[in-house]
Amino acid sequence: MAFYDQMQGVADKLLTDFNQGVIELVQITPGSGPAHNPGPSTTTTTPLKGTARAAKGSILLAPGSLVKIGDLKVVAKVAKGLARAPSTGDKIKVDGVTYSIIRFDPTPPAGVTVAWIFYVRRS
């Protein structure tokens, strides 16, 4: 565990030092009332430190779906204190432009997460 804790520190420093623009995680939590009247949803916006670039290659995003022109790969520092982990129902805003998360990969997939990788598509 100590090795991955150190790697998380290195990733945090690099993603903070090389942060690009304004990257935000937008999470929408539905109301908690009964199904026929759930009430208003809650939107939480969390700033992320990271980088965004064009996604390239034949990366399988979902069954039968590959990266498309205009998709971005966002690598971000792990945000602390979130109520829940990011999911494909959430959004990423890059410099004010909203993208839907089409794939989310905590890296590595087990143990201490060093960084978050999002594949996003313009909404």
Parallel, antiparallel or unpaired: strands 60-62 and 65-66: antiparallel
Which pLDDT belongs to residue 27? Answer: 96
The stretches in the chain having pLDDT less than 70 are 1, 58, 61-64
Task: Answer yes or no: pTM beyond 0.75.
Answer: yes
Which pLDDT belongs to residue 62? Answer: 67
Query: Are 72 and 98 a contacting pair, CB within 8 Å?
Result: no
DSSP reduced 3-state for 13: helix
User: On the CB side of 112, how many CA atoms lie within 13 Å of its CA?
Assistant: 13
Which pLDDT belongs to residue 67? Answer: 81
